[in-house]
Structure 1
């Protein structure tokens, strides 16, 4: 007996056009993102197009926001890939509703409205609070390094900058001297466009000089923060200006020979990579609520250390939601007597580790570090230990989801202010993905 298959007619055309909504299953993330964006205040996006006239017909901002946010929520960050998905992916086509912007249009919209896209993060956090997914009982803070959009091959150390500057100056002088010679003297030499060669070397010299000045200014700022001054003669001094003994290794404002600057993204910094090695990166910070792992604050800096991020992150939670959490958890990277002192008067129960888990930290002087001693005492109690044990469970999953689920391991944009906004866009997309999953559940 012949096998009877289900009908299969690839060339069969439909008498009436199909509805894309009928093809996407109920509860799909695209529906949730589309409905959520419609509920957000998008007035800031419309301002740019006000008064454009009848002939100026840009793509609708709501559609562009939906497509961009859905792209980031599903790991599609490239404008070229989003353009392709608008033709090939059912969810993208449903959100685009028959619109097919080119990748340049998508790229320019993201660049022009980057601040507005970042500001939507706060609206989504407030929406999650209204949905009951944020309680602000316990918030855990954690940082992760994300690669900058910068080539490691287009970076140079301070020592190499000084050497290359000297080499380029010598080459420019030689070319200028050669330009003064007669044509007869150069008759037997290979033809060379001397003005173009001089211009190329001068442009290279200028770029290196600017990078060197950035490194020196960065070092001057760091030295001032350490209490140094330009006339300290490399001698450490106390608050009264008296020498304390010892000697600084370098003159004021002179960077280490191995200090580097990147030409493609000067705002990035060389940071240690998990698993070994170094990359031009940024330090991304998240504050995560324990109710549903919603990111309630997302900030970013180009300082590799987490120490200075604790107070700003808790202040960002207050700014975004209107109140501080009842409890804040952080690892030993945020330990600082100054942090503990600044947060002592706030209505937050702070639990911060003083060292690596399972290892004994150094002895603390109660006269100079009273708040640190109090934190050590808290961590010795059953309640303090139980609270800190929850930190890893609360804080680390969202950073793992950003890199492993969304696949966001490197910024698409360059410059500190741009990557700050892009990181908020990533956290906004992750929050919506999480909120959609919780709603379905």
Structure 2
């Protein structure tokens, strides 16, 4: 029995196959081609979307955009790898019509059109929404940390820089002393060719360059007025979870439509804290969906009372658990103190009434106290101090309503997990484990938009079918 054999490479064919025959009718690359072909590149703000009257012709932005979207769909993000794909990948040959731009041209396109690339991602969302592919009544919000193009060794603050500079000075002094000792040996005739003199001189030169670099970093840190800086990628910040090592990263936020599973809005921040991002991300999603009200599912990291109250005022309903700090189990917990909204008082476990006794405007809290603590028989179970103080946030009522929704419908958090966690896993797999290739917040936002767009295209085709996507395109 013989093996399956291929055709002879030297065999001539009377009718050579068309390159279009090599691409399957339901290939994702055809969806990419149709989608980009329907875009208004001039309106989206792409540079050189209109060819110049003179000079050497350039590549059409539509072709470069097609190449990038296809690349992110196939985990080919590097400009050098994209250049190589244009020569040897059948889908890239078909998509680019056998054009093969060099890697500098490919990289320059992404560098020169960051805002336009972000607009393309938003255009695909509107493309899906206009054809009824997005529900738009309930969304899930979450964030994840994406690695920046920087080493954790480049993270430094004023204390570390001062320590490194002092250590460098000591090393320079050490080598200078060794050189002085070698010179004395030569003068006294003990040695005419001192060993290691050239090596010591090289070490001193390297240490002096390091001292200058550290001094420049100190000036840069003072100029930016920040405690910690990632040198080489100053827009990134050290981020991590729990006690894990803090890596230079960006905070990628996404809003996912529960019904369709598509990411309807996203943004990139260099702040690791999510608590102040609830309102801006929710209102942006509301504007994208162009609806009068919205239900947002999220986790405890967004349980900021002021942000939740602002969302309620904008007709945005938030459902999330309240993030609570560590509590002393030896004493009564704040949740055991019952608040009465009508009288603005709090009843303690002993049945006494705590009344407002002052405000802290910066922290947006109200203090509640009672004089009955002095004679309370269960005081040891309540506080080790002279008096128990309960703090209630200005917008605590909004937090209580938010948490009540979770207790009324526990499945909401299951829906949130199943909706918003999956896209992050897919995006990180498609982006080399969750790491950006570009530097600077503006360029990183463009790269994130390409990753989000690639996910949306893949998910839309899987969810709604290739024929429907091509048909509406």
User: If the length of structure 1 is used for normalisation, what is the TM-score?
Assistant: 0.78
Contact 1:268–1:282 at 8 Å: present in 2 too?
Answer: yes
Which residue of the partner structure matches residue 52 of structure 1? Answer: 52
Q: 1:348 aligns with which of 289, 293, 316?
A: 316
For 2:405 and 2:49, locate their aligned partners in 1 and report how far apart those are by CA, in whole Å.
56
Specify the alignment match of 1:398 in structure 2.
423
CA gap of 1:150–1:4, structure 2 versus 1, over 3 A, is: closer
More contact order relative to length (CA 8 Å, sep ≥ 6): 1
Q: Does 1:42 align with 2:41?
A: yes
CA gap 1:436/1:54 in 2 versus in 1, 3 angstroms: farther
In 2, the alpha carbon distance for the partners of 1:165 and 1:55 equals: 52
Instruction: Report the equivalent of 1:223.
Output: none
Residue 149 of structure 1 deviates from its aligned partner by 0.8
Give the match for residue 370 of structure 1.
Answer: 397
Residue equivalent to 2:95: 95
Find the aligned partners of 1:285 and 1:314 in 2 and give their Cα distance.
11
Alignment match, 1:224: none
Q: Retained in 2: the 8 A contact 1:325–1:348?
A: yes
Q: 1:288 aligned to 2:256?
A: yes
Alignment of 1:157-176 (within 5 A): 157-166=157-166
Could you report, residue by residue, the CA deviation over 1:79-118 in whole angstroms, capped at 9, with x for unpaired residues? 1111111111111111110100111110111111122111
Partner Cα distance (1:118, 1:408) in 2: 22
Structural mapping, 1:244-323, within 5 Å: 260-272=228-240, 276-323=244-291
Partner of 2:342: none
Counterpart for residue 421 of structure 1: 446
Contact 1:261–1:269 (Cα < 8 Å) also in 2: yes
- Residue 4 of structure 2 is aligned to residue 22 of structure 1: no
Confirm whether residue 440 of structure 1 aligns to residue 466 of structure 2: yes
d(CA) in 2 for partners of 1:131 and 1:49? 27
- Structure 1 5/294 Cα, relative in aligned 2: closer, same or farther at 3 Å? closer
- The equivalent residue for 2:132 is 132
How far off its partner does 1:324 sit?
Answer: 5.6
Distance in structure 2 (CA, Å) of the matches to 1:410 and 1:377:
38
- Structure 2 distance, partners of 1:6, 1:165, is 68
Structure 2: which 5+ runs fail to align? 177-182, 340-391, 468-473
Q: State the alpha-carbon separation in 2 of the partners of residues 45 and 408 from structure 1.
A: 31
Question: How many aligned residue pairs are there?
Answer: 392
Distance 2:3 2:279 in 1: 69
Distance 1:4 1:261 in 2: 62
Q: Could you list the per-position Cα deviations for residues 127-181 of structure 1 after superposition, in whole angstroms to 9, with x for gaps in the alignment?
A: 01022221111100011111111112333343220123345678899999xxxxx
Q: Does the 8 A contact of 1:154 with 1:263 survive in 2?
A: yes
Q: Please give the secondary structure, in 2, of the residue aligned with 1:283.
A: strand
- CA displacement 1:179-204 (0-9 Å, x = unmatched): xxxx9999988565999779835640
Instruction: Tell whether the 8 Å contact from 2:138 to 2:295 is kept in structure 1 after alignment.
Output: yes
Task: Supply the RMSD in Å over aligned alpha carbons.
Answer: 3.6
Q: Which residue of 1 aligns with 2:148?
A: 148
The SS at the match of 2:141 is strand
Post-superposition offset of 1:276: 4.0
Cα distance in 2 for residues equivalent to 1:38 and 1:330: 36
Rounded Cα–Cα distance in structure 1 between residues aligned with 2:445 and 2:6: 53
TM-score, normalised on structure 2?
0.73
